Amino acid sequence: MSDWVQTGIGKAEADAIIIRGRDLSSELMGKVTFTELAFLLVQGRDPSPGETALLDAVLVSLADHGLTPTALAARLTLTGAPESLQGAVAAGLLGAGTVFLGVVEDTAAFLEPVVAAAGPDPDDERLAAATRAAVEARRAEGGRIPGLGHPVHKQVDPRTPRMYEIAEEHGVLGPHLRALRMVADVHQELTGRALPINGAGVGGAALADLGFSSRIVRGFALLARSAGLVAHLAEEMERPLGMPLFLEVDRRVELD
């Protein structure tokens, strides 16, 4: 059992809590923001100020979109189990799957091999070539190009240009974000249809540029959603929506 019980994340010791080799009380509290700590926890190194700004923008962009199905599920769960706030938050996160947050992961996963294929520090030409090859290959096998299109924002998802602006402003516009723009261009060229890059897609590309593996980027969407869910549950405690929603459904339900 000895050799595999190993972790780089941290440990609570008799006189201190250690996180990524730092003393929590003296080296982290009051010195790093929660966003910086989240970066440090997952990557094992401090983010640069620009990386922090980009990660903050991603988390802010994904935190809450109002009374979504997941917010409703969390509120209905509190209706039956008000004693378990953790249960209601967990129920809300459980709906954060492929339909709503999958695009974050899918986009990062699509771009990861593109950027790898373009080689280190790729110029626009190499990156564009790798992007075009990937889009064509995906289309050839009949697959979807992730990160494009939105049921509501037909022209432009307002989060997308803002994310690029923030990345440029802080000098952290990386190859995944750059490639995603090329994806949209190539897609339009090949199909004749201009589809906007959506907010989930741009979030996935930004997280990939921040160095997170595509397998874990959805974790940041879950972290972001936790904040929204806490807000919904705080409101639910003051002004319940779960019980009236149930009663309305119950009033209207028809048995086959």
Binding to its own copies (CB under 8 A) within 26-65 occurs at 26, 28-30, 32-35, 37-38, 41-42, 53, 55-57, 59-61, 63-65
Q: Minimum Å distance from CB 190 to its own copies?
A: 26
Candidates 123, 152, 192, 193: give the one binding its own copies (CB under 8 A).
Answer: 152
Nearest residue (CB) to its own copies, 56 versus 129: 56
Q: Which stretch binds its own copies (CB under 8 A): 115-123, 126-134, 135-143, 165-173?
A: 165-173
Whole-number Å distance between alpha carbons of 58 and 242: 29
The two tokens of residue 15 are: 């006189």
- Rounded to the nearest whole angstrom, what is the least distance from the CB of residue 240 to its own copies in the complex? 8
Residue 125 lies near its own copies (rule: CB under 8 A): no
* Closer CB to its own copies, 122 or 196, in the complex: 196
**69 binding its own copies? (CB under 8 A):** yes
Question: With CB under 8 A as the contact rule, which of the stretches 121-129, 137-145, 185-193, 212-220 interacts with its own copies?
Answer: 212-220
Strands of the sheet with 10-12, listed across from one edge: 10-12, 17-19, 22-23
* CA angle centred on 208, ends 206 and 211, rounded to 5°: 115
Query: How far is it, in rounded angstroms, from Cα 13 to Cα 17?
Result: 6
Is 107 a binder of its own copies (CB under 8 A)?
no
Element (H, E) at 12: strand 10-12
Task: State how far the alpha carbon of 202 is from the alpha carbons of 11, 35, 101, in Å.
Answer: 34, 19, 12
Q: Number of C-alpha atoms within 13 angstroms, CB side, residue 202?
A: 28
Which of these ranges, 116-124, 129-137, 156-164, 177-185, lies near its own copies under the rule CB under 8 A? 156-164
